Amino acid sequence: MTIDRRRFTTSLLLGAGAGILGFPQAASAAPAMARQSATLLVDQATGRILHRTGPCATRFSPCSTFKIPLALIGYDAGILTDAHHPAWDYRPAVHQAHRAEEKRRTDPTDWELNSVVWYSQEITRRLGAARFGAFVDRIGYGNRDVSGNPGKDDGLEQAWLCSSLAVSPDEQVAFLRRLLAGRLLSPGACARAAAIIPAFDGSGGWRVHGKTGSGWLRDGAGQIDRSEPLGWFVGWADKGPRRLVFARLQAGGGTPDPSAGRTARTALLDEIARLAG
């Protein structure tokens, strides 16, 4: 087991955590943050930590990794029914999308695979603010804050997108372990949510199921800084009788990377055999 016990500096906590969590910030822009990487790998059956390095206890915006808990919520609420229903049409007058794969009829499997933001927002709108907040609180996800950006009343559509909701790698793994064990909301909803998570081939014969998330950190003035990328890859990996749960986070560095989640995914897939031991 590898554990990084370094104390992280105040500048890291302000640059990576404070803006997302809504803590007071200095008026001037913060200096570029040194690139940080956090990796947590845990045995699903025993909870034994196999690898833990980087700021695993620090909370960041979940970005599109929130589609995993949102799938669980959607199935438990009856808004989602199975892997391919409901299928909703993309409506340019209502939905915002930039990629071709988002601008078409989308079902739950497509939603997770193509990371379709407007489909997430359809689910949260149908839940409504009160039910949405109650579900996030009930599953104990991260800081449970779905208020959205201050003064904008946009929590239903933006809370998980570099806004108020924040979660640490430690919390991501704890959530996933409970999901896979069927101990959140209902066993049926847990199973259906897990079934639609994309799968990839990892090194050493590992089959890896996971969701990426890409975004940006905030500067000292609380504004999105597109030169400071935030990338996640969270999920689980199977090989024979073994199942491991993981979270990989990459943040900062001063180099724009709009696909930071994919960068994190590529690294984890390459390293999974070594990390698993």
d(CA 96, CA 83): 23
Nearest Cα residue to 115 out of 187, 64, 74? 64
d(CA 256, CA 265): 17
Nearest Cα residue to 179 out of 276, 75, 49? 75
CA 277 to chain centre: 25
Question: Would residue 64 show up in a list of annotated catalytic residues for this protein?
Answer: yes
Of the candidates 61, 64, 120, 164, the residue annotated as catalytic is 64
- H or E element, residue 121: helix 117-127
Q: Where are the alpha helices (DSSP H) in the chain?
A: 10-12, 19-21, 67-77, 108-114, 117-127, 129-139, 155-158, 169-180, 187-195, 260-276
Contact 115, 64 (CB under 8 A): yes
Q: What are the catalytic residues?
A: 64
